[in-house]
Structure formats: structure tokens, C-alpha cells
Structure 1
Amino acid sequence: MGVDDLPAVMELERATFPADAWSERMMLGELADQPRTRHYIVAERDGRIVGYAGLAVAGDQGDVQTIAVLAEHRRAGVGALMLNALLDEAGRRGASAVFLEVRADNAPAQAMYERFGFQQLGLRRGYYDDGTDAITMVRKLDG
């Protein structure tokens, strides 16, 4: 993912996370740290960006920053493909574990993460801007 992708990504960001969308400035900050500590990717179908995902890695810890997929492309494997790519990248960068936060009211995302071997670690009360709790999850990587 690069700066040229930002208009489509920001449109997707606002549609997917209306209550707590990242600002363009925040996203530019993430992209500025590529490839040093960040790795962002997009998924395309028929030349259109239908999803994006980001990873941060520092030392031996990875963090899924975000995963978003257009509503009409959900449950078609796009999120899973991007999560696989992030986990592969985390391993290449030497991470021994990958962490993430997921909205407590997002059961489909929680189920996908569990299918990928993530386990619930804890709860962050009121984590999201609209007051929704976040479930923290972790997956150990084979070393």
C-alpha cells in the first residue's frame, strides 16, 4: 500500500469504521514508517481496492494495526488472505507473537482470528471512540 492508494483506502476506512475511522494524517504516519516498522497491503478485485491491512513489528512483537474489507466482499476470503500475508511478514521480521484488538461487538472478525489460532488475552473497556470494548488477542508464531 502506498500514498497513491490513500483516497480509496480512506473511503473504505470511513465506510468500515464510521464511529472511529483513522484520519488521513494517521494513515500517512503509518505509511511513513514503511518498511522500517510497518507493512501495509491492499487487496484488489477487478482493479478496485476492496480491502487493506496493516502490521507493526518492533523487536519480537507484531501487532495487527487494522484489517478492513468492503462489505460486499466480506466472507469471500479477502480478510483471511490479508491476515495470512501479515502473519507471514511478521514471521519474516522475527516476531514470535502477533497481537491485535478486535471490537467486542464484531463476532465475525473474532471468529476469523480464532480460526487463525489467536487466543483471547484480555479486555480493554471503552477502547473504541464510541465506547465499545476491545478484546485483545494473541497468536504465537512458530519459531
Structure 2
Amino acid sequence: MTVDPPIRLADPADADEIAAMSREFIEHGLPWTWRPGRVLKAILNPETNVAVIRAERGLVAFGIMEYLESDAYLVLLAVRAESRRRGFGSALLEWLEASASVAGAQRIRLDARRDNAAARTFYNEHGYHEVAINRGRYSDGVDGIRLEKWLRPANAR
């Protein structure tokens, strides 16, 4: 899927806005751990992709994906509330999945709050399967749900 404005890798100047969006849309009600310094480290890390969609009004969406030995881990993905249901999240996820595939990842894993039905539905609609419940995963006592999507069979090299 192509979006306008296009998806691009984040640069250091994006760190503050990404951190603010993480706090507002992902870490609400939790301790703020994705502060600008941590986001900047992710942007500069060669084992991590931080992708963004920017418009004239600022940051629309972002995603952070870490590359592990044979898997990729989708750390964060967020779209501004006023830009949701317009394809930005889907396009960003597909871009990150394609990047993970090119990097050789066999599967992508992610965690979502058990009480976040919208996120769980979004990922289910994109081929992710719920594989485990992590009781008390989040600091507010909410359970986490581990989701994964296989990009190629486990025995493929």
C-alpha cells in the first residue's frame, strides 16, 4: 500500500514527537519509558527501524521494529487519533513487515494490552495470531497478549 505522505526512516529530529505520541497513545496510564533519549537510541541503532509518516501538521504515525537473530519484534506502532481508519497504520505495518522480510526475519512478534481491543483486532486483521497471555505484563496490572505472524516457515532458511 502506498500512502501520501510517504513512509520514511525517522531521523533524530523526529525523536521528541515520537516520544510524545508514545506517551499519549501507547503508554497512557503507564510509566513513560519511551522518552526522547530512548527513541533517539532506537533511531540510531542499526538493528532497529524507526519509520514515520509526516504531514504538514506534523507526525501522523510511527513504528519501531527491532531485528533479533531470526525474528523481528514490533516494539511500538501508533497513529494520531484524527488520522486513524485512513490506511496509515496498515501501510506502516506493511512497510515494516516488508523490511523484516528483507532482513531475513522468519516471524514478527509484538505485545498488546489485553484490554486494547482495537489494537488486537487491527493485528488480527493483518494476519497476526494471539499465542500467549502474559499475566500482569504491564505496570498497571493489565495482562499482555503476545501476537505473532510468520513471514516464512520455521524450517526455511
Q: TM-score, normalised by structure 1?
A: 0.91
1:133 aligns with 2:143: yes
- Of 35, 38, 51, the residue aligned with 1:26 is 38
Give the count of matched residue pairs.
141
Once residues 111 and 135 of structure 1 are traced to their aligned partners in structure 2, the CA distance between those partners, rounded to angstroms, is 12
Contact 2:112 2:145 in 1 (8 A): yes
- Could you say what secondary structure the match of 1:138 adopts? strand
- 1:1-143 matches, cutoff 5 A: 1-16=10-25, 17-20=27-30, 21=32, 22-33=34-45, 36-142=46-152
**1:87 Cα shift?**
0.4
Once residues 75 and 37 of structure 2 are traced to their aligned partners in structure 1, the CA distance between those partners, rounded to angstroms, is 15
Structure 2: where are the runs of 5+ without partners? Answer: 1-9
Once residues 130 and 114 of structure 2 are traced to their aligned partners in structure 1, the CA distance between those partners, rounded to angstroms, is 11
Aligned-pair identity in percent equals: 25
**1:28 Cα shift?**
2.2
- Could you say what secondary structure the match of 2:66 adopts? strand
Contact 2:18 2:39 in 1 (8 A): no
- Could you say what secondary structure the match of 2:28 adopts? coil
| Divergent runs of 4+, >4 A | none
Q: TM-score, normalised by structure 2?
A: 0.83
**1:23 Cα shift?**
2.0
